[in-house]
Structure 1
């Protein structure tokens, strides 16, 4: 049986659905989430605060007006439907408030702050989404460690295509045939070692995914117990880094998407420090330099990075694009 629910979210001000949810999409062919011309499709497994799976859900987000979004949900259980409808608000970034940053940028008044304020005025409807799905985000980000975007997208896409399940669907919420649910911990542990090789996932990364699967219950409990607030999210990042294979970058990238972490820059990113340095000063920098440049904007450092990404600035490129060797058939 499929359960269907609907709600309309009125933000009371301009809201940018593709600008908000676009950061959650892993490549143009992501099987779990895609933004399209009228809105977005998304599917999730829903867990309770103790880590028990309540079921799964498919979302259809549709922009009705400049400030309104319709949310349609199809779920395979009544508890999953109720939880999914409640989760729709943080997914859309309804709990993300940029007012403090906007006031700070106006108060600072320097060249960089003035430029960032102008970017915000051009894109006032962008918010930081919070999917609530920390375990799924950790798995996805782990697949992105120390590889190219193409490799990571291939691994995520084909992991779900080959081993994922179709999400709930109904006449009211007809989930597209390409949609696949993220794998449960049990499903991840059932993927054979040779299959990870075919998926272009290096052994250290597959081992980290399996460690996450072993600790899934604890991850779900910690995630549910942590509200979308800067201080507590930062504390959760510290606890996640105790898992072998999860470092600063992985914890930050996951929590930015699961908890809308507004002050957790992804230290250790291959390009980010260079990008922030060039965008703010015209010169590349390292992680320490990036953090120094962002310090005046605490506790909104990730919001500032998001604004830089929306500014249209493009970092200069040096040398040919990395083309890793493909060992999958060896």
Structure 2
């Protein structure tokens, strides 16, 4: 039965921000496995027990969490982690004025920890060296191809992440109409073969070691994954096209930066370096732009 779920109640901190917290489960903006607004949020994924969805609703006592489908019980057990309630911010007391002001404004936001690695790995690989729109289009088309019903009364636009076995069995050329070239397709297919091993990672460090050992996966991709899968507030996306400039501009007034300079400026925030990067993003801070933007390509028409 997909419409009947089991429920638990979760207490939340003062000024808790449900929408911003759950949206961090989306590595790609507009991820159809995620739905979040201030009063209700949904997440659909594959668990060790099978497909499931989790609904988090605002209630007088905090949040009411409801799990649906074969994986609903598994999701309900870690609903507090998915809701970001295991994220420890007690030691985060930034002194830099920009970061301090942002934390005051958005202190209700938390890092969720989904506990699922392959779920976030697909969109992270799709986001390699392309624009956000390209990554989104490829991801949506891929989920549509592998479409299965989302358990429970989830919003109609939501999709379930693909079964790793089905992805591994798909030839690379089948990815081309989705706008995904062979390099990223092969990286996804290789990762799908070892998805079971990746899911046994006990923490962000172990997951990172396993991820970067795979051809086609580097530190940028690993950081994108472990932030969502383990709620790693220190993970920094080294190699990102924009973040190094954003950090340099916000923390030092330098319009352009390098990865080395970014890490130098973030060092005083060690333990929360990724949190600082996300706060800058949430606050809409960006370095001045010079020159043309990266063009949007269509590999599907090559």
- What's 2:141 paired with? 158
TM-score (structure 1 length as normaliser): 0.85
1:323 aligns with 2:274: no
- What's 1:194 paired with? 173
- What's 1:45 paired with? 46
Cα RMSD (Å) of the superposition? Answer: 1.8
Q: Distance in 2 between matches of 1:95 and 1:318?
A: 40
Give the CA deviation at 1:320: 2.2
Asked whether the 8 Å contact 2:180–2:300 carries over to 1, the reply is no
- What's 1:261 paired with? 232
User: Helix, strand or coil for the counterpart of 1:191?
Assistant: coil
1:294 aligns with 2:266: yes
Q: Distance in 2 between matches of 1:244 and 1:305?
A: 27
2:58 to 54, 60, 63: 63
The 1:74/1:235 distance shift into structure 2, 3 A limit, reads closer
Q: Distance in 1 between matches of 2:90 and 2:298?
A: 47
TM-score (structure 2 length as normaliser): 0.93
- What's 2:103 paired with? 120
The 1:28/1:12 distance shift into structure 2, 3 A limit, reads closer
Q: Distance in 2 between matches of 1:210 and 1:310?
A: 33
The 1:166/1:29 distance shift into structure 2, 3 A limit, reads farther
The 1:26/1:97 distance shift into structure 2, 3 A limit, reads closer
Q: Distance in 1 between matches of 2:90 and 2:148?
A: 40
Asked whether the 8 Å contact 2:7–2:64 carries over to 1, the reply is yes
Unaligned segments of structure 1, at least 5 residues? 48-53, 227-232
Q: Distance in 2 between matches of 1:12 and 1:35?
A: 18
The 1:180/1:83 distance shift into structure 2, 3 A limit, reads same
Moved more, 260-269 or 299-308: 299-308
- What's 1:51 paired with? none
User: Helix, strand or coil for the counterpart of 2:245?
Assistant: helix
- What's 1:143 paired with? 126
Q: Distance in 2 between matches of 1:28 and 1:240?
A: 22
| CA distances 1:172-200 after superposition (whole Å, capped 9, x unpaired) | xx122322210011111233333200011
Q: Distance in 1 between matches of 2:171 and 2:115?
A: 28
Give the CA deviation at 1:324: 3.2
Asked whether the 8 Å contact 1:39–1:63 carries over to 2, the reply is yes
Q: Distance in 1 between matches of 2:38 and 2:279?
A: 22
Aligned residues: 300
Give the CA deviation at 1:4: 1.2
